[in-house]
Structure 1
Amino acid sequence: MSQQLPGSDECPRANGMPMLGLGTWENTDPDECIESVQDALEAGYRHVDTAQAYGNETEVGEGIARSDVDRDDVFLATKVWLDNLAYDDVIDTTSASLDRLGTDYVDLLYVHWPSRTYDAEETLEAFDELEERGWIERVGVSNFEPEHMEEAVDILDAPLFANQIECHPLLPQEEVRAKAQELDVEVVGYSPLARGDVFDNDTLTDIAEDNGVSAAQVSLAWLRDKGVTAIPKATGRDHIEDNWRSLDLTLDDEEIERIDAIDERGRRVDPGFGPWN
């Protein structure tokens, strides 16, 4: 892919963050990861999400470097793993992340989970320090429940920019989204296709058929309507392009209501250390 897809310069942004990005969770084949990042950027994506725990920061950085897109035009995010959240470990492992990514800064750094070595005061003090150093442009958290978000906002000197959570039509996360709106925090949705389960939901597939699109596009358009930034994982060019074309889909009020009324609910990512457990 050497050309951007139609409409690819029209991705909406949330406070400077492109509302559709490339997720890289479980994208562990080195060559495939490099290629998917490069392909996505050359198709028009400008938001790439990774994490220390994914084991692919080097490949993500290489994919950016190989693309025809300048690093400063890419919104790059990574996450500090839950074993590395003591003050010194946050600083040291973020430095290592930057080295692996081949960059002097990331646009957004997340606390991956409020678990294990997470101590709100100590951990967030380190994130403030990173922001002051210019190593990170924005502070984020991931998998935070409403009470954790409120605590983080109270402690941080820097603004809390985003909370990345599992979010899709089968797990709409109304309470977290409402609290985020109250606190002026962006919501980033991971697993926005419910790990493939959107393709088995009759409501989503019926709406997709009515619009001549995929159920993936319907889910991504629904999230965008809710103000949620989506970061679907995609490796093959077909899936990368299909997800990108969701930007051309606008669901009408009746379709949004039908999706809102889906009664299937459940997490696809539910580790024992999740703060809701």
Structure 2
Amino acid sequence: MNKSELGASGIRVSGLALGTWAYSGANVWGASDDRAAIETIHCALDHGVNLIDTAERYGNGKSEEVVGMALKGRRSQAVVATKVYTGNLHYDDVIAHCEASLKRLQTDYIDLYQIHWPNPDIPIGETFAAFEDLKKAGKIRMASMCNAGVGCIASLAGQEVAMNQLPYSLIWRVAEKQIIPASEAAGIPVCAYSPLAQGLLTGKFRRIEDVPVGRRETRFYKSTWTPCRHNENGFEDEIFAFIDVLMDFCGRNGLAPAEVAMSFLKRRPYVKTVLAGARSVKQLEQNIAAYEAEIPDGLMDEIEAASESLKAIMGDNADLWVGNGGRFY
């Protein structure tokens, strides 16, 4: 598995990372299985997938606890990334919440300590002052961001930031319009999350009826579905029309849609790692195979051109869940 160094930190992260939100207990993907989760994390390390991403918010710390159990005796093989949530970004809160995460993770240090969603009401300088003191104490190695928009990126000038974790995929290219260029200009590489668009880019779902109701919670879908946190029309017709195009493309060229989705992100030099969840060893191995597949540039140019129309209609709000401008700032 290829690895990239983050700045001059010496931290090297694998091109594919393992997301652990599914290990947070019961959720829309079903109940989690601690044993399967631990086996999946071990399999990731065995295959060179070293970046393990979690958050205090996932199951109120349950995901962090599972990661901590899985890394007993193998901590040195992993790059652990966890997140402090939006309301906890004042100096004293950051320190306290980091200590709580360290305890749940059963580790002395966190490699990447990330702001989960930036808070415009809490000065970024106050949060980073806490990060700096945590670094001096050896409790974190680098500060990092998730969901930083253009204004937030501007406020980070002069700060050392490992990455900007963004929702980004072949059918969700909104971040390309403003956020990724701003992140690139600031020298902050991207970690792409939701690369398979919650299963839409696996070919598993060919029409809206195929998607379990509990998963119809993003702005991909109409707001009339109960889980949605927006009041918009969504893009169901356009997305499923594109999936038809994608599946025809894959059939003609002997490709799997997940391979195409991963290749889309691998081609972008500013994307240092692709964050994909896996509930089992089988799912992880499928993700690894998809990530490692090589697709000729000419073919990728063709399918990327086909997704441009989706990008054009989706506006500038890169938030996958919240409408009316979203939470990016």
Q: TM-score, normalised by structure 2?
A: 0.73
Residue number among 238, 256, 260 corresponding to 1:218 in the alignment:
260
The amino acid of 2:18's aligned partner reads L
**Greater Cα shift, 75-84 or 247-256:** 247-256
CA distance 1:245–1:90, shift in 2 (3 Å): same
Q: Is the 8 A contact 2:193 2:275 kept in 1?
A: yes
Q: Is the 8 A contact 1:14 1:186 kept in 2?
A: no
1-structure distance, mates of 2:303, 2:70: 35
The amino acid of 1:241's aligned partner reads E
1-structure distance, mates of 2:93, 2:111: 20
The amino acid of 1:215's aligned partner reads P
| Equivalence map 1:153-172=2 (5 Å) | 153-154=157-158, 156=159, 159-172=160-173
Q: 1:21 — aligned with what?
A: 17
Instruction: Summarize deviations over 1:12-54 as a string: whole Å, max 9, x none.
Output: 3243221211011232225143332223223332111000101
Q: 1:234 — aligned with what?
A: 278
Q: 1:205 — aligned with what?
A: 247
Shift of 1:142: 0.7
Instruction: Summarize deviations over 1:244-277 as a string: whole Å, max 9, x none.
Output: 1134322322223223320224567323694348
User: Is 1:269 the equivalent of 2:320?
Assistant: yes
Decide which structure has the larger Cα Rg and report it. 2
Q: Is the 8 A contact 1:144 1:275 kept in 2?
A: no
User: Is 1:57 the equivalent of 2:101?
Assistant: no
2-structure distance, mates of 1:19, 1:242: 15
CA distance 1:118–1:270, shift in 2 (3 Å): farther
SS at match of 1:83: helix
Q: 1:181 — aligned with what?
A: 184
Residue number among 290, 294, 301 corresponding to 1:257 in the alignment:
301
Shift of 1:82: 1.1
Q: 2:109 — aligned with what?
A: 105
Q: Is the 8 A contact 2:319 2:326 kept in 1?
A: no
Structure 2 alignment gaps of length 5 or more:
7-11, 25-31, 207-242
2-structure distance, mates of 1:207, 1:118: 47
SS at match of 1:61: helix
User: Is 1:193 the equivalent of 2:237?
Assistant: no
The amino acid of 2:82's aligned partner reads T
2-structure distance, mates of 1:129, 1:192: 34
CA distance 1:98–1:204, shift in 2 (3 Å): farther
Shift of 1:210: 5.0
User: Is 1:47 the equivalent of 2:51?
Assistant: yes
Shift of 1:207: 4.5
Q: Is the 8 A contact 1:104 1:135 kept in 2?
A: yes
Shift of 1:209: 3.8
The amino acid of 1:58's aligned partner reads E
Q: Is the 8 A contact 2:147 2:328 kept in 1?
A: no
Q: How many residues align?
A: 262
User: Is 1:85 the equivalent of 2:89?
Assistant: yes
The amino acid of 1:162's aligned partner reads M
Q: TM-score, normalised by structure 1?
A: 0.85
Q: 2:77 — aligned with what?
A: 73
2-structure distance, mates of 1:274, 1:81: 17
Structure 1 alignment gaps of length 5 or more:
1-9
1-structure distance, mates of 2:291, 2:197: 19
Instruction: Summarize deviations over 1:129-160 as a string: whole Å, max 9, x none.
Output: 21222211111111111221121134x3xx11
Identity of aligned residues (%): 31
The amino acid of 2:4's aligned partner reads R
**Greater Cα shift, 83-92 or 33-42:** 33-42
**Greater Cα shift, 195-204 or 232-241:** 195-204
Shift of 1:208: 3.9
